[in-house]
Structure formats: structure tokens, C-alpha cells
Structure 1
Amino acid sequence: MIPALDLSASTWRKSSYSDGGGTNCIEVADGFPGLMPVRDSKIPNGPTLIVAAPAWTAFVDGVRTEAL
């Protein structure tokens, strides 16, 4: 079970893989050891996914592999 996180003071950063055109953008918030909060940049007050750090690392590695 992932504990509830207070994300109200989080600094969000957009993915470097975002296309910059306002579509297909995600943002992540650092500073939560072992967890990676992820949200849709177009809906900043919408739902946030909380992903375990190993799963996030596997996802990013997969994206990088596909981009090559």
C-alpha cells in the first residue's frame, strides 16, 4: 500500500520526451524517496499516479530503448 502524499508544495517538471506542442506531456515530482508522482501536464489538478521507483526506472529505460 502506498501512503497518501502531500503533493501541494511539489515542484513538477515536464518529461524531456514531451513533444513541446501541448500534447502527450507528463510531469513528475522529485523528492519522494522510493516513489515517483506522475501527472498529466494538461490537467495539473487532476489525478496523480504514484509509481514505485523500480517500476518508474523500468518504464524510463523502456522509453529510452524504444527511442534509439
Structure 2
Amino acid sequence: MATPEELASVAWHISTYSPNGDAQCVEAGPLGDGSGRVAVRHSRRPDREVIVYTRGEWEAFLAGVKAGEFDFFAS
């Protein structure tokens, strides 16, 4: 869980693969507290829920993405 103050300092990033760059994706960014935690939110609802992952959780997710473990719709 992150405080509103921590979330206010997040530099949010949207993937360049997001359709037309029109914010129909998720946004992620590191919390500025040096903890390595990463916040994730829905780009169309930036004022709604935010999920915060530890550095270890985020690194495990990225490793899975790179390994193709989340290619649910690949043909």
C-alpha cells in the first residue's frame, strides 16, 4: 500500500505499444522512496485503485514476460 503522497511523486509510464498512445493501457512507475516498489494503475482511471508491487515481485513479473509466460493470445 502506498500513501497519497508517495503516489503523487510517481513518474507514470505508458507503453509505446498502447493503441494509438491514447491511454488505453496500464501505467507503471517506481515510487520515489528508494524502496524499489512499483505502482501500477489503469491509465483510463488514474484516480482509482493502484496496486503496488515490491521490487522482487516486479522483477519476477518482468522475467515471466520476457520468457513468454504471459503470451496468452499468441498464435
Would the TM-score normalized by the shorter structure come out above 0.5? yes
> How many equivalent residue pairs?
64
Which runs of structure 1 show a deviation greater than 4 angstroms over 4 or more consecutive aligned residues? Answer: none
Q: Deviations over 1:11-58 (max 9, x none)?
A: 201135x432454x1111223423111111111111100111101111
Q: What is the RMSD computed on CA atoms of the aligned residues?
A: 2.3
Q: Could you tell me the TM-score, scaled by structure 1's length?
A: 0.70
Letter in 2 for 1:41: S
Q: CA deviation at 1:3?
A: 5.5
Q: Could you tell me the TM-score, scaled by structure 2's length?
A: 0.65
Structure having the larger proportion of residues in strand? 1
> Larger Cα Rg: Structure 1 or Structure 2?
2
**Equivalences for residues 7-26 of structure 1 within 5 A:** 7-16=7-16, 18-21=17-20, 22-23=23-24, 25-26=25-26
Maintained 8 Å contact 2:2/2:52: no
Structure 2 segments unaligned to the other structure (5+ residues):
none
- Corresponding residue for residue 57 of structure 2: 55
Structure 1 segments unaligned to the other structure (5+ residues):
none
